[in-house]
Structure 1
Amino acid sequence: MTQFKYRRKSRFSPARRIGFSLLASLLLLSAPGASVAQIPSKVTVAYSAVSPIFAGVWMAKEIGAFEKHGLKADLVYISSGSITVQAMVGGNLDMTIAASNAVVSSILRGAPLVAVGSITNRPAMSLFVQPEITRPEQLQGKVLAITRHGSSTHFLTLFLLEKLGLQDKVKIQPMSGTREVDAGFRAGMVAGAVRSMKPGPKGRVLVDLPDLGIPFSMDLIAVKQDFYKNSPKTVEGMLKAYIEGVAALRTRKELAYKVLGKYLLGGGDALDEAYEYAVKYLDRQARVEPAVIQTVLNWENKGETSVNDFFDNMIIDRIIKEGFVEKLYK
């Protein structure tokens, strides 16, 4: 007699059984001791000039500092601080490093931004002029180049002309970007320009702006207020990456020269000048000093406005207190 074995039919379809298996796997991976590879958060960081003042963020990108802090960063060059800030407000940038006057002015006009860092708290530029100019009064009736209206070069040129008693006596010519300013200077189209580096081999320093004792941030590190509120860990990671980049300039000099050559598209003696400039002026801690905000507010005739409406050092102060910066130089 033939015997048949009864096989109980499963109540669940194959698709549902696969679903249960996947759920079980996820529960196992989420258990203590299990590890899941995290996908880095993608961030876009904009800088506003081809200048060694941005060497810190370039180094951060090249040494993998952003990835170290769980971020995949794309660097975007947008000529001029004022344009960079506009792109920040209306676009998809996560962080911008742009002229402090452009950042502060935009916040005054309602832009939802906050400064979370400063790359340097003094005006790291000089007024370079043609070799035949030896005295400030010789600039009267001549042309000085800037990148764009609202840029740091524009702000500092106006500030300097007022200090020299040459306000409204010198023509200011926007040239679009730093490379265009340098080209115009070398061609003799302009008498001079406020620049971080010598715009041409014949250029000479007429005024060194740090000597004026003006508290001024060359560029503030700014983010949108809602991003700062909703993604503080991402902001912290970006700031730590930047600070590591600044440290690497000093501790990895050979690589720093290669990085400067890559982003400045140059070499030779210009790299020596660029490296010395970056090491001299870039602050190790990247902290915003209230006085640099006040300088811009005074210029905008808004000196009574509270500086605390424009920046927040909370994350930077915590990074410093934890000893993060100090450890990078040991």
Structure 2
Amino acid sequence: MRDRAIFAAFFLFLLLGPFDALSQSYPTVYVGLVSITPSNTAVLAAAEGGFFKKHGLDVKPLILAGSSTALAAMLSGEVSLISIAGSGLINAHLAGGEVVMVAGMVNFAPYDLIVAKDIKKIEDLRGKKVGIARFGGSADFLARWGLEKNGLKPGRDVTILQTGGNPERLAAVSQGAIQATLLEQAFAHQAKKAGLRSLLDYSTAGLDYQHNGVGTTKSFIEKNRDLMNRFMKGLVEGIHRLRNDRAFGFKVLERHLRVSDSEVIQGAYDYYIP
């Protein structure tokens, strides 16, 4: 009788255990993404591949409009982490924010300076308009660097305008609302296919640059060390899957870039995921 009771209890444990595990709720971690771009592929891949869930986290990526918006959301506690270029975190730190970068995902400047068809050289941008995402962001910093390197002073010789993310900037330069903009590789590829020019490839310009990485605050790390360890494990495993499964990487890029052109997707994969 006693053996039957033990067996029944053990059977009940086996029966209920899986349902209890399935009903387990994971801590929700909101990660702000500055824009729709291949630079965020690692975070998206780790989430879609189930690697964060594997380590007990329900990571939800959110698209935020520009680095300043993402930083404000993180500093106010609306999101726990952000995927952002190093320039954005540096500006926040200089302004007194307790921000840190915990992972570098894209460690070069993945931009082209794309110009209208009638612009032959960078000096021709004198008196013209250059579109960026947001002041203080990566495109803003790199646009100013490229202009100044070629003898043009932003604000005096060239007007810099906030015109939105990569898709919006591509549309603006295509329609003539601006004469130049910085576009990340996948969008620059589309621009060149449409007949626009690239006058500067920042990835080969000899500029050491920390582009997208994962940022957060010192206080969040101090209060959530175990969570951060689990997040980093999931992120690293997501990157490993990306590097070793091209089909998976293509699928993630196609879904989030909303581009079906296989040439664009393959180019983005080879460019961002060595």
TM range (shorter): 0.7 to 0.9
Which consecutive residues of structure 2, in runs of 5 or more, have no partner in the other structure?
1-8, 14-19
The whole-number CA distance in structure 1 between the counterparts of 2:77 and 2:221 is 16
1:158 positional shift:
0.9
1:132 positional shift:
2.8
Q: Which residue of 2 aligns with 1:298?
A: none
Q: Which residue of 1 aligns with 2:235?
A: 242
Kept in 2, the 8 Å contact 1:127–1:195? The answer is yes
Q: How does 1:132-151 map to 2 (within 5 A)?
A: 132-151=118-137
**Matching residue within 244, 250, 259 for 2:252:** 259
1:220 positional shift:
3.1
- The answer to whether structure 1 residue 85 and structure 2 residue 78 are counterparts is no
Kept in 1, the 8 Å contact 2:106–2:272? The answer is no
User: 3-state DSSP class of the match of 2:273?
Assistant: helix
The one-letter code matched in structure 2 to 1:137 is E
Kept in 2, the 8 Å contact 1:123–1:218? The answer is yes
Give the aligned CA root-mean-square deviation in angstroms.
1.9
The one-letter code matched in structure 1 to 2:207 is I
- The answer to whether structure 1 residue 177 and structure 2 residue 170 are counterparts is no
1:120 positional shift:
2.2
The whole-number CA distance in structure 2 between the counterparts of 1:240 and 1:129 is 41
1:99 positional shift:
2.3
Q: Which residue of 2 aligns with 1:195?
A: 183
Q: Which residue of 1 aligns with 2:206?
A: 213
1:66-104 Cα shifts (integer Å, max 9, x gaps) = 111111111101021121111110132111111211111
1:154 positional shift:
0.7
1:206-259 Cα shifts (integer Å, max 9, x gaps) = 111122322221123111211101211211222222222222222111122121
TM-score, normalised to structure 2, is 0.84
TM-score, normalised to structure 1, is 0.70
- The answer to whether structure 1 residue 275 and structure 2 residue 269 are counterparts is yes
User: 3-state DSSP class of the match of 1:166?
Assistant: coil
- Give the number of the structure whose alpha-carbon radius of gyration is greater: 1
Q: Which residue of 2 aligns with 1:53?
A: 39
The whole-number CA distance in structure 1 between the counterparts of 2:216 and 2:231 is 11
**Matching residue within 31, 44, 66 for 2:52:** 66
1:127 positional shift:
0.9
The whole-number CA distance in structure 2 between the counterparts of 1:213 and 1:237 is 35
User: 3-state DSSP class of the match of 2:109?
Assistant: coil
Kept in 2, the 8 Å contact 1:126–1:194? The answer is yes
1:273 positional shift:
2.6
The whole-number CA distance in structure 2 between the counterparts of 1:226 and 1:186 is 44
Q: Which residue of 2 aligns with 1:287?
A: none
Kept in 2, the 8 Å contact 1:125–1:196? The answer is yes
The whole-number CA distance in structure 2 between the counterparts of 1:87 and 1:95 is 9
The one-letter code matched in structure 2 to 1:274 is A
User: 3-state DSSP class of the match of 1:132?
Assistant: coil
The one-letter code matched in structure 2 to 1:219 is N
Q: Which residue of 2 aligns with 1:227?
A: 220
The whole-number CA distance in structure 2 between the counterparts of 1:122 and 1:177 is 19
The one-letter code matched in structure 2 to 1:155 is F
User: 3-state DSSP class of the match of 1:46?
Assistant: strand
Kept in 2, the 8 Å contact 1:82–1:99? The answer is no
- The answer to whether structure 1 residue 103 and structure 2 residue 85 are counterparts is no
1:203 positional shift:
2.3
The one-letter code matched in structure 2 to 1:192 is A
The whole-number CA distance in structure 2 between the counterparts of 1:95 and 1:232 is 13
**Matched positions, count:** 247
The whole-number CA distance in structure 1 between the counterparts of 2:108 and 2:266 is 21
